[in-house]
Homo-oligomer: A and B are copies of this chain.
Amino acid sequence: MPNEYRQRLAKLRLRLTEAHSDAVLVTHAPNIHYLCGFQGSAGILIVEADRATLFTDGRYSIQAREQTRQTGVSVHIPKGPILLAAAAQLGSLTTRRPPRIAIDAAHLTVSEKEKLVKAVGRPCKWISCTGWVERLRTIKSDSELERMKAAARLISSVFDQIINQIRPGIAELDIAAEIDYRMRKLGAEGPSFETIVASGPRSALPHARPTSRRLHGNELVVLDAGAILTGYCSDMTRTVYTGRAPDRVKRWYKAVLEAQIAACEATTAGVESRAPDGAARRVLDSYKLGKYFVHSTGHGLGLEVHEEPRLAKGQSALIESGMVVTIEPGVYVPGVGGIRIEDDLAVRDGKSEILTITSRELLEL
Contacts and interface: CB of A to CB of B under 8 A. Distances in A.
Interface of A: 58-60, 62-63, 103, 105-111, 113-114, 130, 173-174, 176-178, 180-181, 184-185, 187, 189-190, 194, 205-207, 209, 212, 294-295
Tally of this chain's copies: 2
A294 B62 CA distance: 14
Q: Which 10 A-B pairs have the closest CB atoms?
A: A177-B184, A105-B111, A105-B110, A181-B181, A59-B207, A106-B111, A110-B113, A108-B110, A177-B181, A106-B109
A180 B184 contact: yes
13 contacts: A58-B294, A59-B205, A59-B206, A59-B295, A62-B205, A105-B111, A106-B110, A108-B110, A173-B184, A177-B180, A177-B185, A181-B181, A189-B209
A61 to B, nearest CB: 9
Contacts of A110: 103, 105-106, 108-110, 113
A111 B113 CA distance: 11
B205 A194 contact: no
Nearest to A57: B207
Interface centre among A58, A62, A177, A206 (most CB of B within 10 A): A177
Contacts of A173: 184, 187
A49 B187 CA distance: 52
A178 B59 CA distance: 25
A325 to B, nearest CB: 20
Contacts of A108: 109-110
A184 B195 CA distance: 12
A199 to B, nearest CB: 16
A123 B355 CA distance: 52
Contacts of A114: 105
B205 A187 contact: no
A299 B103 CA distance: 31
Contact of A109 (B107, B177, B184): B107
A212 B294 CA distance: 41
Contacts of A177: 180-181, 184-185
Contacts of A178: 181
Contacts of A194: 190
Given A105-B110, A177-B185, 17 more contacts: A59-B295, A60-B207, A62-B205, A103-B110, A106-B109, A106-B110, A106-B111, A107-B109, A108-B110, A109-B110, A110-B113, A111-B130, A173-B184, A176-B184, A177-B184, A178-B181, A189-B209
